[in-house]
Chains A and B, each alone.
Chain A
Amino acid sequence: MEEEEIEKAVIAYLKKKGFKQTELAFQEEHHQHQNQQTKNSSSSISSSTDPDIAKHILSFSESENIPARYHEGYSKLRSWTYSSLDLYKHELLRVLYPVFIHCFMDLVAKGHIQEARNFFNSFREDHEMMHLRDLQKLEGVLSPSHLEEMEFAHSLRQSKVSIKICQYSYELLLQYLHKTQSITMLGVINEHINFQVSPGQPASISDDAEVVTLIGSSQDDANQINQKEIHWGLLEGSLEERLEKAGGLLSDSEKAEGEVKETDTEENKKRSAEGGKQGSSIKKLKKDKVVGAAGKTARPEANAVSMAPRVKPELALPVMPTEVEQSILEDLRNRVQLSSMALPSVSFYTFINTHNSLNCSSISHDGSLVAGGFSDSSLKVWDMSKLGQQAATSIMQGDNDLAPTEQILGTSGGKRSYTLFQGHSGPVYSATFSPLGDFILSSSADSTIRLWSTKLNANLVCYKGHNYPVWDVQFSPMGHYFASSSHDRTARIWSMDRIQPLRIMAGHLSDVDCVQWHINCNYIATGSSDKTVRLWDVQSGECVRIFIGHRSMVLSLAMSPDGQYMASGDEDGTIMMWDLSSGRCVMPLMGHMSCVWSLAFSCEGSLLASGSADSTVKLWDVTTSTKVPRSEENKSGNTSRLRSLKTLPTKSTPVYSLRFSRRNLLFAAGALSKSG
């Protein structure tokens, strides 16, 4: 019986491979052999063949029916996994997803399109919860050539998935695969999965965040990159540091008061800028001052910041004019101390009558200027301090050359409450104010970045370098340098005085959607549609960290003021807190129902504000999470909690941008959307 089957299998194999001669020879020999056997039927040679090998050979014969074998193999593996021991089940379940997508891609690669579709649809539901977006992408793969063309599929085919699994689960799996002779599944697993077998107990379910995300570059690479050293400390000689020293000297309150008086005049000057809300803002300033004075007594809190190590700047940083320095120092002194008990005040700028055309907004450090980038290629800047007075002096400006005529037009028009900047030839996707508020950068779908002066109301420079729409642009914390990110999968570093980029950061597998500077200007972070966040060294242009864990495109980033942590928000409404030094996720913050457009840390890093498309501003307490593990530094720092402190709903206004002023007043902006 068995022997006959084997013979059939061999013949089938030979036929398939096209060995006609061999086939003939084999059949001839086979006939002779059979004749012989009938003669001396008692003596059997077949007994010597190993049954195992027979089965192996048999399995080849079925190769005509590949799709069915994939389907059957996978469904068996699946039902086995689901019925496995509870303790090990979640580990084994992790294996299913990579096996599933690779089975699918194998089928597609072998040209069984229809069967691949059937296979995909019959098991799709299992993975929808965790990997919906990936599945949606893969669904479109309909021919072998698409596999090559599609970046995502291609990278999946190229790389192996690493799965951490405990010793026993691994043995269970192997035993199953051997026992059931599921060669196909074994092949898939061998080819595409790299097991990291760890001795001992299975890992807890909560740890598998990094495991479930399949990325193009292998986990190993990421781990290797994350080994690199980074200096996340604050800059040497920063203003905060100087303030600390000054604060130490000003031991008695008398002196402090004297200082306040001394700077009062300056404050009056600043008032117009900080204000915008006339009476209320002045009141606010006074309140700030009082609380700020009280805050001085709470010095230990502030010390947390000074504990961070100091690093030297890698870039030549611009020198700050002394009067600006003075005003910043003044702001720092009057800063409100925020904590979970003392929540910030939030001032909300609502854009009205935008007709769905507002793409982005930005707020200057003192909240006096608000910029909006529109899909009609225009950039509009509102001066909030003039808003109430129905500014007659507002000036419309086009290009430099046209300035004189435009100016006349602007004054005669008179009615416009904002300054219009025209120059882009595509939707404006991002705008950013320089730290001092005298420049604005805007990036657009026309692949350019433009620098505008708020003093001259004119376009100064047009930076051309990207080849595709520039999604985001951000000034460095010290000004002068800026970073941009684009659809061309690169991020670039520029300085204001050069029209060529200084560095090009390439490595992301998809669009770079957002960019953010580290507080010490030595690093930038980029978030991408490939669901990762990367940290780059500005000086060398190298990628120094890869943060894996998001399940959808990363839309917003924020750096903590002590330089150790980073927050990133994605399309699903998840916010993740990352520890820069270890490259690990401290904790995901769930709560938003929709895209997180904007994130901001309060100035002393105790609060995180997030603005979302679900029309809310949420305040999160991040002190417990960030400070506790640092002091204890043990792995069981899981006790740290990040919790939502407050949800501030707006009136059907998605929140586009957030900004803490230096005095810890939170500014938020968004466009009123009527449909809600």
Chain B
Amino acid sequence: MSIVSKETIEVIAQSIGIANLSADVALALAPDVEYRMREVMQEAIKCMRHSKRTVLTTDDVDIALNLRNVEPIYGFTSGGPLRFKRAVGHKNLFYIDDKDLDFKDVIEAPLPKAPLDAAVVCHWLAIEGVQPAIPENAPVEVIAAPSDGKKFEQKDDGLPVDIKLPIKHVLSRELQLYFDKIIDLTVNRSDSALFKEALVSLATDSGLHPLVPYFTYFISDEVSRGLNDFNLLFALMRVVWSLLQNPHIHIEPYLHQLMPSVVTCLVAKRIGNRLADNHWELRDFTANLVASICKRFGHVYNNLQTRLTKTLLHAFLDPKRSMTQHYGAIQGLAALGPNMVRLLIVPNLEPYLRLLEPEMLLEKQKNELKRHEAWCVYGALLRATGQSIYDRLKMFPALPSPPARVFRTNGRVVTSPPNKRKANNEHLEQQPSLKKIATDGPMDVVPTNLSSNMQPPETKGPVPSTDPDMGPSSSSRQIPHGNISDSRDRKGKGDSRALKMSAVLTQTWRDDLKSGHLLVSLFELFGESILPFIPAPEMSLFL
């Protein structure tokens, strides 16, 4: 409990040559030693305060000991605070790194330079309350966003305050013109070639930093007002992209203002007025934008990515949100990387698809537009999960010899644990398929005359041309069975060639167990359409 334990006293006693210190003495001494130590430290801290310091030095302890009429401890005076090092493996154990010095080296070393004598220098810290920007003063935040002044006024509500004007800083005439021009281009002529030039300029010019607060303000302002104007939004996002590219701009302080606008463009319910507006494209673009921001500033703002994913996941999981919002959320998450997809989307995939499916069907969803949207979401999901699985599989050591199929199957035969897993997989594969039937089942109740046979409804409805990936799911049920039986057949043909590969494969399967399951579940959810995402050799591994 206490800092100084009985054992400590015993150890100290031994170290000064008292071998037979009785336990009672140690027990009585320990609390008193601790008390004295605390007392000395209390006095030392007082001395530190009166020396107008905030770090305790050995001198303070010496003076404190002096105050208590105790001989000071010699040999520790260092002129500055001691540098403690943490002992590796212990949480609360510190030591002073005290190097051995060779006397010869010390004697032979040239005399150190005499330290500079104390001196006083004088400067103006403030002139009539304003700090002059001179090197002697701490660097002041020169640029203050225009919104800062506003905030200040709002803060002191009700109380009579002399209103503090926002800090003035001079914006050169050229910069003002430049800003006006960019704004004009963004708002009115975002499709002109000139705008592209402007974007390049924004991404490369070095002198733009003073304008950043204005751009930030402009963007957030326009986004909140112009959600109907698709072209404007796209132009604004391009401006953001360019600003982010610019290596001379220090954009971090303004991110918190930018992020809401950017996320809005990603998951807004409606973007643009007309049907013709390809808001999917804008969402895709913004998703990439968000991902790049996260990648670049994630380490500066620790909670940036967590907050973002939370927002997106929330949008994704809320069934009341519109399809467009879901699409944006999925794209955003997908852009953040395959890991995000695996962690956040995949676990929710099955219930989500169950919700999505009726939306995609002609029978259920009569509205052409809505159905189209649902298909888009489906495509996005597919792409996201597909990419995540691809990424996962890519990590495996590249396996030699293209006609790998035989090899692999052989491998499984030779090594027994994979075989077991294989069996598991088979089991899994079959079971989900059954489940699939079960989920499909209720749909068949829909009074269509073809419902009697167990063919999945997808094959019946005219599959919208927008999603060519989507294969008939009937095959999804058959193919695995076929493959499995195939591989079984080939087991017999196994030969010794595979032996050398077996080690590699064991490794692969070990890593793979998860992704194997993942793939299986994805396969069962999406059907064959997931297959194009799996690189050929790897795919064969699983089939």
Contact = CB atoms under 8 A, between A and B. Distances in A.
Q: Do A and B come from one complex?
A: yes
Interface of A: 113-114, 117-118, 121, 137, 139-143, 146, 276-277, 280, 340-360, 370, 372, 374-375, 380, 382, 384, 387, 416-418, 426-427, 429, 445, 468-469, 471, 487, 511, 513, 529, 553, 555, 571, 594-595, 597, 613, 615, 617, 619, 641, 645-646, 648-652, 654, 656, 668-669, 671, 675
A617 B121 CA distance: 17
Nearest to A117: B1
Contact of A487 (B39, B46, B51): B46
A184 to B, nearest CB: 22
B136 A651 contact: yes
Given A143-B31, A356-B53, 14 more contacts: A142-B32, A345-B124, A348-B136, A350-B123, A351-B118, A353-B115, A355-B115, A358-B118, A382-B120, A387-B122, A513-B49, A615-B138, A649-B137, A650-B125
A348 B123 contact: yes
Contact of A343 (B49, B57, B120, B128): B128
A654 B137 CA distance: 13
Nearest to B127: A345
Contacts of A429: 50-51
Contacts of B115: 353, 355
A160 B435 CA distance: 75
Nearest to B122: A349
Nearest to B116: A353
A347 B125 contact: yes
B51 A375 contact: yes
A511 B46 contact: yes
A675 B83 CA distance: 13
A342 B123 contact: no
Contacts of A529: 46
Given A117-B2, A348-B123, A353 B51 contact: no
Interface of B: 1-2, 31-32, 34-35, 38-39, 42, 46-47, 49-55, 57, 59, 63, 66-67, 79-80, 115-131, 136-138, 140, 159, 162
A118 B2 CA distance: 10
9 contacts: A343-B130, A345-B126, A357-B118, A372-B118, A445-B63, A445-B66, A469-B47, A650-B125, A650-B138
B52 A340 contact: no
* Shortest beta-carbon contacts, A-B, top 5: A343-B129, A142-B31, A140-B38, A348-B125, A346-B125
A348 B124 contact: yes
Contacts of B131: 648
Contact of A352 (B51, B121, B159): B121
A53 B2 CA distance: 40
A646 B129 contact: yes
B120 A387 contact: yes
Contacts of B117: 353, 416
A461 B117 CA distance: 28
Contacts of B127: 345
A578 B423 CA distance: 82
Contacts, number: 171
Contacts of A352: 116, 118-121
Nearest to A345: B127
A363 B367 CA distance: 83
A427 B59 CA distance: 10
Contacts of A617: 125-126
A338 B164 CA distance: 17
A421 to B, nearest CB: 13
A534 to B, nearest CB: 18
A140 B39 contact: yes
Contacts of B54: 594-595, 613, 654
A641 B159 contact: yes
Contacts of A555: 49
B80 A356 contact: yes
B128 A344 contact: yes
Contact of B49 (A141, A344, A417, A571): A571
Contacts of A370: 120
Contact of B120 (A340, A351, A427, A675): A351
Contacts of A280: 124
Contacts of A511: 46
A576 to B, nearest CB: 18
A356 B59 CA distance: 11
Contacts of A646: 126, 129
Contacts of B67: 468-469, 487
Contacts of B159: 641
Given A353-B115, A427-B63, A646-B129, A597 B52 contact: yes
Contacts of B66: 445
B168 to A, nearest CB: 16
Contact of B118 (A141, A343, A380): A380
A347 B122 contact: yes
Contacts of B46: 487, 511, 513, 529, 553
Given A117-B2, A342-B128, A348-B124, A140 B34 contact: yes
Contacts of B79: 355-356
Contacts of A139: 38
Nearest to B39: A140
A585 B112 CA distance: 54
A341 B32 CA distance: 58
Given A341-B162, A352-B121, A382-B120, A427 B51 contact: yes
A375 B2 CA distance: 34
Contacts of B80: 355-356
Q: Which residue of B38, B66, B125 has the most chain A CB atoms within 10 A of its CB atom?
A: B125
A651 B137 CA distance: 6
B136 A350 contact: yes
Nearest to A284: B127
Q: Which residue of B52, B63, B137 has the most chain A CB atoms within 10 A of its CB atom?
A: B52
A445 B62 CA distance: 12
Contacts of B55: 675
A336 to B, nearest CB: 9
A71 B55 CA distance: 37
Given A141-B35, A375-B59, A648-B131, A354 B118 contact: yes
Contacts of A341: 162
A384 B122 contact: yes
Nearest to A113: B31
Given A353-B115, A356-B79, A648-B131, A343 B126 contact: yes
A571 B52 CA distance: 11
B52 A360 contact: yes
A672 to B, nearest CB: 9
A502 to B, nearest CB: 24
Contacts of A358: 52, 118
Contacts of A553: 46, 49
Given A114-B1, A555-B49, A350 B126 contact: no
Nearest to B57: A356
Contacts of A427: 51, 63
B38 A651 contact: no
Nearest to A555: B49
A345 B128 contact: yes
A375 B67 CA distance: 16
A9 to B, nearest CB: 32
A624 B136 CA distance: 33
Contacts of B42: 137
A375 B53 CA distance: 12
A483 B478 CA distance: 100
A445 B50 CA distance: 10
Contacts of B35: 140-143, 146
A556 B137 CA distance: 25
A387 to B, nearest CB: 7
Contacts of A117: 1-2
Contact of B129 (A344, A357, A654): A344
A354 B79 CA distance: 11
Contacts of B137: 649-651
Contacts of A641: 159
A117 B80 CA distance: 35
B443 to A, nearest CB: 54
